[in-house]
């Protein structure tokens, strides 16, 4: 039996839009699983993110090459939204097929409680946005992807972000031209991938000339420096993704623990890097569940 909790008011999309209005820019932090989403909520974040590359790596042990499926994405979305009430943005790669596939995806995401997506203009055999040799579809095909999202949206507050990977391939002006076409097609925001300078974000913001129009991807060890929120704010950026920051730290910590067990015969020297059991229980509201068990067992004993 689950412990009841109050549900937040408004749709997930409405809550995401409200968070975007409150924070300039809004940090949207990656959560590799539902427990990480709870940790982000506990830390005070207002939105979380399910990264396609993160899901491939940490749920399936695969590289970020478009190898996961629509079904797998929706499954992870349900896990996240069941556990955490923060609005969730989902990376849907290129949409997992044509217009009808995209429509199924959007309807499923809204039904399962997602707040927002970003969809990109790479070909279906996509690559990580910070790797070489990316191939793009034409502007018209990407516009069709966006229109399929708009047409399938049963909730007008569901937030649509169009990602363009064209800066690396086609240059800044071509990327801006694509971005303007994507916004005209119905996107709510542009995800300008692999920007290396703050001035590039400014150029997107000025060309689009709409509120809350540009998102930055602050992913470590990439083509984009780890700009601060203040720097992004001054450039006019409205949201900043941190897709794998926590996941990378967790992976490094796990690797160190595994090594310590072999080298020392014990994880003792790593205890200071671990989350205490007491904090784990607090995040999960463990004692409330346990108290409910005690109540049920006591009621059964009285019969």
Residue-wise pLDDT for 231-244, tens only, equals 999 999 999 999 99
Domain membership flag for residue 3: no
For CA atoms 10, 14, 20, 26, give the dihedral sign: positive
| Average pLDDT for 106-116 | 98
Phi-psi region of 241 (alpha: psi -120 to 50; beta: other; left: phi over 0): beta
Catalytic residue among 15, 118, 130, 178: 118
| Average pLDDT for 35-61 | 97
Domain membership flag for residue 6: no
| Average pLDDT for 44-60 | 97
Domain membership flag for residue 178: yes
| Average pLDDT for 93-105 | 97
- Is residue 88 within 8 A of residue 81, CB to CB? The reply is yes
Domain membership flag for residue 258: yes
- Is 93 an active-site residue? yes
Same domain, 257 and 196: no
Is 2's pLDDT higher than 70?
no
Catalytic residue among 41, 64, 76, 188: 64
Same domain, 282 and 157: no
- Is 84 an active-site residue? no
pTM, whole model, 2 decimals? 0.95
Same domain, 230 and 290: no
Same domain, 55 and 202: yes
- Is 209 an active-site residue? no
Same domain, 204 and 294: no
Is 131's pLDDT higher than 90?
yes
Model confidence at 38, pLDDT cuts 50, 70, 90, reads very high
Among 299, 270, 240, residue whose Cα is nearest residue 26: 240
Catalytic residue among 120, 121, 165, 188: 120
Catalytic residue among 36, 84, 128, 195: 128
Domain membership flag for residue 203: yes
Same domain, 170 and 282: no
Looking at 201, 224, 246, the residue that finishes a domain is 246
- Is 277 an active-site residue? no
Is 261's pLDDT higher than 70?
yes
Q: What is the CATH number of the domain that holds 191?
A: 3.20.20.60
Domain membership flag for residue 7: no
Domain membership flag for residue 2: no
Same domain, 128 and 113: yes
Same domain, 68 and 102: yes
Domain membership flag for residue 205: yes
Instruction: Please spell the DSSP secondary structure of 133-150, one letter per residue.
Output: ---B--HHHHHHHHHHHH
List, for residues 8-30, the tens digit of each pLDDT value. Answer: 889 999 999 999 999 999 999 99
Instruction: Please spell the DSSP secondary structure of 98-132, one letter per residue.
Output: SHHHHHHHHHHHHHTT--EEEEE-B-SS---TTSS
Catalytic residue among 49, 58, 201, 242: 49
List, for residues 204-230, the tens digit of each pLDDT value. Answer: 999 999 999 999 999 999 999 999 999
Model confidence at 270, pLDDT cuts 50, 70, 90, reads very high
Percent of the chain scored above 70 by pLDDT? 97
Same domain, 191 and 218: yes
- Is 91 an active-site residue? yes
Q: What is the pLDDT of residue 4?
A: 62
Same domain, 294 and 193: no
Same domain, 262 and 157: no
- Is 230 an active-site residue? no
- Is 242 an active-site residue? no
Q: In angstroms, what CA-CA distances link 219 with 30, 187, 210?
A: 10, 23, 25
Catalytic residue among 153, 163, 182, 188: 163
Catalytic residue among 178, 193, 195, 242: 193
Catalytic residue among 76, 93, 112, 188: 93
| Average pLDDT for 260-270 | 97
| Average pLDDT for 98-121 | 98
Q: What is the pLDDT of residue 170?
A: 97
Q: What is the pLDDT of residue 1?
A: 42
- Is 128 an active-site residue? yes
Looking at 231, 246, 261, the residue that finishes a domain is 246
Q: What is the pLDDT of residue 298?
A: 82
- Of 299 and 80, the structure prediction assigns the larger pLDDT to 80
- Of 6 and 240, the structure prediction assigns the larger pLDDT to 240
Q: How many domains does the chain have?
A: 2
Q: What is the pLDDT of residue 3?
A: 58
Rounded distance between C-alpha atoms, residue 124 and residue 130, angstroms? 16
Mean pLDDT of the chain: 95
Same domain, 221 and 261: no
Is 300's pLDDT higher than 80?
no
User: In which domain, by residue range, is 50 found?
Assistant: 12-246
Q: What is the pLDDT of residue 138?
A: 98
List, for residues 150-208, the tens digit of each pLDDT value. Answer: 999 999 999 999 999 999 999 999 999 999 999 999 999 999 999 999 999 999 999 99
Percent of the chain scored above 90 by pLDDT? 93
């Amino acid at each position: 039996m689950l412990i009841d909790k109050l549900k937040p008011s408004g749709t997930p999309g409405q809550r995401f839009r409200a968070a975007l209005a409150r924070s300039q820019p809004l940090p949207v932090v990656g959560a590799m699983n539902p427990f990480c989403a709870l940790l982000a909520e506990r830390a005070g974040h207002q939105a979380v993110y399910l990264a396609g590359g993160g899901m491939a790596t940490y749920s399936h042990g695969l590289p970020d090459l478009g190898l996961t499926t629509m079904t797998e994405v929706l499954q992870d979305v349900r896990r996240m939204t069941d556990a955490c009430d923060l609005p969730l943005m989902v990376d849907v790669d290129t949409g997992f097929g044509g217009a009808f596939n995209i429509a199924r995806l959007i309807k499923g995401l809204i039904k399962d409680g997602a707040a927002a997506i970003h969809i990109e203009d790479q070909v279906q055999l996509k690559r990580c946005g910070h790797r070489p040799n990316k191939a793009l579809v034409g502007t018209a095909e990407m516009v069709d992807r966006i229109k399929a999202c708009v047409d399938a949206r049963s909730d007008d507050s569901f937030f649509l972000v169009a990602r363009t990977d064209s800066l690396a391939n086609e240059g800044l002006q071509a990327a801006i031209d694509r971005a303007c076409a994507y916004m005209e097609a119905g996107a709510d925001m542009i995800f300008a991938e692999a920007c290396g300078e703050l001035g590039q974000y400014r150029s997107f913001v000025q060309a689009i000339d709409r509120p809350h129009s540009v998102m930055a991807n602050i992913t470590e060890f990439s083509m984009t420096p780890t700009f601060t929120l203040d720097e992004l704010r001054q450039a006019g950026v409205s949201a900043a993704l941190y897709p794998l920051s926590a996941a990378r730290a967790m992976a490094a910590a796990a690797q160190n623990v595994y090594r310590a067990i072999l080298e020392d015969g014990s994880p003792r020297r790593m205890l200071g890097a671990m989350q205490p059991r007491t904090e784990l229980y607090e995040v999960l509201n463990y004692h409330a569940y346990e108290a409910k068990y005690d109540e049920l067992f006591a009621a059964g004993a009285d019969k």
